[in-house]
Structure formats: structure tokens, C-alpha cells
């Protein structure tokens, strides 16, 4: 048993919901959702994403929180405790590996945001009105290896500091401060963006589904994005659930977390898509998208300088409440399973993540080799973020659904969800039937079909 002092716990219900929402709401909603939407056909992608959130994301989130609370463990410890046979331990291992790698590349983007906060604060964009110029300023910035690597290191250090301070004082506190402000700012920015001249095209792209854009890859990306933005498939919610008290109502908490996340995604799309058309930029710009569009929005609103600075500060905090939840997974593993101190685990994981992330940080122009690896745009970055960001999460979510639906079983899960002891129910679970159906059939079958079909098309052709 690990020392409870090393594990920690949430101090209140709202603290947990905010921390869970803090994990979910981050760059996934503000940076990744808009650019995936742009690359994958607009409204049709958003529709597929929403469907995946309701029918796969939400039930898997309930499953992960339940597994975590029942075992009070990290993913590896959880499978060791509940599963017979060593195979499941490997799935736990995949979760830990995803934690390392997602932390590695996610903190690069968070570093870009810090760079953009600095640039905005010193007035770099104040005088520039030309959208193409703003766009090439980003290309220059992301190609500067020293700057992006240093910012990458900075984010890793900041995250390590929060995770080192422990669950209650660090993660909860950050989350509590952030949410209301972020919503408010996004709403104001969305209003500005929608009322820009030339915004109509972007709105149409974002709101009217074009069914000719449906493809296996598009649905796989929507599914990956749903899991990513809800922090599922790599045991974050298992780990967060392990700090959760028996009094909390898991389905209700999960619903709130999902709701907050979707709201931020939809708002972020409303900020970015109309602005893309208004600025004459391309929807398929990829990971650079928001950095090439946002400075122009700020440039065209009264008090834009302050909005810009405020926005980037909030996005950094949103990113940090997510990076801490990602880092927490491998750290909890080393604390629980290897009996390391929190400090040692944090330093080790942070260091390895920096090493793994470095070639990805250089894959935006700083190094030709890493930028064009395997002939793919964005090279190593694109590869690592697709493999550990879409694919690994889909595999994780698939097996978690199978495990809870068929092996551990929905009855045991229900007992945990209701916190039933000696016939006394703490939390009602009115959606049990609906959830059982989703977790046993809909989630795993959909993931298997989408994943199998897309892999087949990509690697075997036809």
C-alpha cells in the first residue's frame, strides 16, 4: 500500500467536478477541436464529434471514474486488482505510455501559447493588420528551435511544480479560478468573430453539415477528439476517480464534466471558424490555425490588447489543469506501484517527456528532418500526436468498455456507482439500463468498426 499522504484526495464535490472539467477543458477544446474541425469538413465533423461524446465518451467516463474509485488505484494497479490474467496489465502499461507521450507533445503547444502571450503583451501584433503577415509571423516563431524548446521545458517545469504540490492544493485551486472567466471571454470573442465582415462563410462551414465529407478517417478523428477532449482512454479519469469520495454521484459529475467540455469546444469553434473566413485563411491550416487567426481577431476589437493578453493567460491555465492531469497518471503509477516518492516520480516523468517531446518541438520548421518525417506534413509531431492522441486512446477506451461491460461486469460497477453497502444506496443510478447498453455494445462495437475500417483503408488500401 502506498502512503495515503502521497496519494491525496479531493476536498469537495465541486472541487472534483472542477478538477475533472479542468482536465477535460484545455488545448483539446481551444486549439485542437477548431483545427480538426477545419481539416475534416466543418459541421459534419462537429456532428460526429458530438455523437461520439454522447455515445462513447460519456459512458466510458462513467466507467473510468467507477474503476478508479472502486480500486483507489492508478490504471496498472487497478487492472492488477480487478483483472485476472497479465494481459490487462499491458493495457494499464499503454495508459502510462500514453501519459508520457501525450504530456510530451501537449506541452509543446502549451509552450507556443506562452510565446504568444509574451508576443501579445509586448505589442508585437498591435500594429500588424495584414492576416498573411500574422500567419508568417507564426511560421517564423514555430521554426525557432531554441525558443520552442525552452518554452516546452517551461511548461513541463510548471506542471511538475503543481503535480509535486499534490492533488488538493495544486490542481483543485487552479481549476476553481479558471472556468467562469474562460467562458466569459470565449463568449465575447465569439460575438466579435461572428460580427466580422466575411464571417458568414465560416459560420456556414461550421454549422451546415456537408455529408459528402463523411469518411472513415474523419470519424476516427472525431472519435479520437471526443476521447482526447474528455481525457479518456489513458486512465486519467481512472486516476482522478481514485481520489473521489464514496459520497459523490459519478454519473452526475461525469455529465457536468462532459457538458463543460462540449460548451468550450463549441464556443472555440464559433470563435475560430468565422474568423478564418473573415481573414481569408485556410480551414485546413492544421495545428497552426488558432495562432494564425487569433491575433487578427484581437487586432480588430476595442481593447483587443487586453483581451489578447487575458485570453492567452486563461488558455495557459486551462492547458496547465490538463497537463497536470496527464502527468498525474504516470506519477500515480510510480507512487503506487513502485513506491517512489512523488518528487522522484515527477522529476523522472518530466525529464523523459522533455526528451520525447524535443523532436516533436523541432517538427514545425526548426529541423527539416523531423518536420518532414515519413513525408508527412508536421512530421514527427503529427505522427506522435495521432498515435498517442487518437489511436492509443481509442484502443484504451475500447478495452476499458469491454472490461467494465463484460469482465468486471455492469452489476459490480453499478454497486460501486450507487456506493451500495449493506443494502443502503448513496447515489441513485436511473440511467443504468442506458449506460449498460452503451458500455457493453455501442461503445466497443463502434470503436472496433471505425478503428478497424480506417486502419484497413490506410494500411491495406482498397
Contacting residues toward ligand PFF, per CB under 6 A: 23-24, 26-29, 102, 228-229, 231, 234, 236, 322, 325-326
Query: Which secondary-structure segment (H or E) carries 258?
Result: helix 250-278
Q: Extract the C-alpha cell encoding 264.
A: 468550450
Least distance CB 227 / ligand PFF (angstroms): 8
CB 319, CB 117: distance < 8 Å: no
Residue 421 pairs in a beta bridge with 424
Least distance CB 313 / ligand PFF (angstroms): 16
- Between residues 248 and 328, which has the closer beta carbon with respect to ligand PFF? 328
Q: Extract the C-alpha cell encoding 188.
A: 465575447
User: Which three-class secondary structure state does DSSP give residue 421?
Assistant: strand
Least distance CB 100 / ligand PFF (angstroms): 12
- Between residues 101 and 367, which has the closer beta carbon with respect to ligand PFF? 101
Least distance CB 23 / ligand PFF (angstroms): 5
Least distance CB 92 / ligand PFF (angstroms): 14
Least distance CB 27 / ligand PFF (angstroms): 5
Residue nearest to ligand PFF (CB): 28
- Between residues 24 and 131, which has the closer beta carbon with respect to ligand PFF? 24
Q: Extract the C-alpha cell encoding 112.
A: 507556443
What is the C-alpha separation between 274 and 297, in angstroms, rounded?
A: 10
CB 187, CB 267: distance < 8 Å: yes
What is the C-alpha separation between 188 and 193, in angstroms, rounded?
A: 9
> Phi, psi (5° rounding) for residue 424?
-100, 130
Cα radius of gyration rounded to whole Å, the chain: 21
Least distance CB 32 / ligand PFF (angstroms): 7
Task: For residue 329, give every residue at least 6 positions away whose Cβ sits within 8 Å of its Cβ, in sequence order, or none.
Answer: 74, 75, 95, 96, 98, 99, 234, 235, 236, 239
- Between residues 234 and 314, which has the closer beta carbon with respect to ligand PFF? 234
User: Which three-class secondary structure state does DSSP give residue 430?
Assistant: coil
- Between residues 29 and 134, which has the closer beta carbon with respect to ligand PFF? 29
- Between residues 105 and 307, which has the closer beta carbon with respect to ligand PFF? 105
- Between residues 429 and 451, which has the closer beta carbon with respect to ligand PFF? 451
Amino acid at each position: 500500500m502506498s502512503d495515503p499522504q502521497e496519494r491525496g484526495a479531493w476536498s469537495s464535490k465541486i472541487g472534483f467536478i472542477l478538477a475533472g472539467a479542468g482536465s477535460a477543458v484545455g488545448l483539446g477544446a481551444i486549439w485542437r477541436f477548431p483545427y480538426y474541425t477545419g481539416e475534416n469538413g466543418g459541421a459534419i465533423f462537429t456532428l460526429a464529434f458530438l455523437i461520439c461524446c454522447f455515445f462513447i465518451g460519456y459512458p466510458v467516463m462513467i466507467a473510468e471514474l467507477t474503476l478508479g474509485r472502486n480500486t483507489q488505484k492508478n490504471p496498472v494497479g487497478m487492472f492488477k486488482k480487478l483483472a485476472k490474467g497479465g494481459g490487462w496489465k499491458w493495457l494499464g502499461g499503454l495508459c502510462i505510455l500514453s501519459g508520457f507521450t501525450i504530456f510530451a507533445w501537449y506541452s509543446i503547444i502549451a509552450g507556443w501559447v506562452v510565446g504568444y502571450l509574451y508576443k501579445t503583451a509586448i505589442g508585437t501584433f498591435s500594429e500588424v493588420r495584414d492576416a498573411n503577415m500574422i500567419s508568417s509571423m507564426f511560421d517564423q516563431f514555430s521554426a525557432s528551435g531554441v525558443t520552442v524548446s525552452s518554452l516546452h521545458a517551461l511548461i513541463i517545469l510548471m506542471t511538475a511544480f503543481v503535480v509535486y504540490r499534490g492533488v488538493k492544493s495544486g490542481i483543485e485551486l487552479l481549476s476553481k479560478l479558471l472556468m467562469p472567466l474562460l467562458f466569459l471571454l470565449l463568449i465575447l470573442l465569439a460575438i466579435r468573430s461572428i460580427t466580422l465582415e466575411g464571417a458568414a462563410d465560416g459560420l456556414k462551414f461550421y454549422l451546415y453539415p456537408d455529408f459528402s465529407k463523411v469518411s472513415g478517417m474523419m470519424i476516427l478523428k472525431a472519435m479520437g477528439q471526443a476521447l482526447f477532449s474528455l481525457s479518456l482512454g489513458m486512465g486519467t479519469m481512472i486516476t482522478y476517480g481514485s481520489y473521489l469520495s464514496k459520497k459523490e454521484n459519478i454519473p452526475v459529475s461525469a455529465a457536468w464534466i462532459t457538458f463543460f467540455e462540449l460548451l468550450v469546444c463549441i464556443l472555440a469553434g464559433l470563435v475560430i471558424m468565422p474568423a478564418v473566413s473573415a481573414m481569408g485563411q485556410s480551414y485546413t491550416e492544421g495545428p497552426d490555425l488558432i495562432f494564425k487567426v487569433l491575433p487578427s481577431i484581437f487586432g480588430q476589437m476595442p481593447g483587443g490588447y487586453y483581451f489578447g493578453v487575458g485570453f492567452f493567460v486563461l488558455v495557459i491555465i486551462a492547458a496547465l489543469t490538463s497537463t497536470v492531469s496527464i502527468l498525474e497518471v504516470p506519477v500515480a503509477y510510480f507512487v503506487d506501484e513502485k513506491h517512489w516518492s512523488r518528487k522522484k516520480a515527477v522529476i523522472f516523468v518530466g525529464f523523459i517527456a522533455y526528451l520525447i517531446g524535443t523532436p516533436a518541438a523541432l517538427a514545425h520548421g526548426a529541423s527539416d528532418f523531423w518536420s518532414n518525417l515519413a513525408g508527412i506534413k508536421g512530421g514527427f509531431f503529427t505522427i506522435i500526436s495521432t498515435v498517442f492522441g487518437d489511436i492509443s486512446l481509442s484502443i484504451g477506451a475500447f478495452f476499458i468498455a469491454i472490461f467494465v461491460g463484460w469482465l468486471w461486469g455492469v452489476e459490480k460497477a453499478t454497486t460501486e456507482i450507487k456506493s451500495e453497502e449493506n443494502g443502503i444506496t448513496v447515489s441513485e443510478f436511473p440511467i443504468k439500463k442506458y449506460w449498460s447498453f452503451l458500455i457493453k455494445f455501442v461503445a466497443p462495437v463502434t470503436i472496433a468498426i471505425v478503428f478497424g475500417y480506417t486502419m484497413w483503408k490506410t494500411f491495406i488500401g482498397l
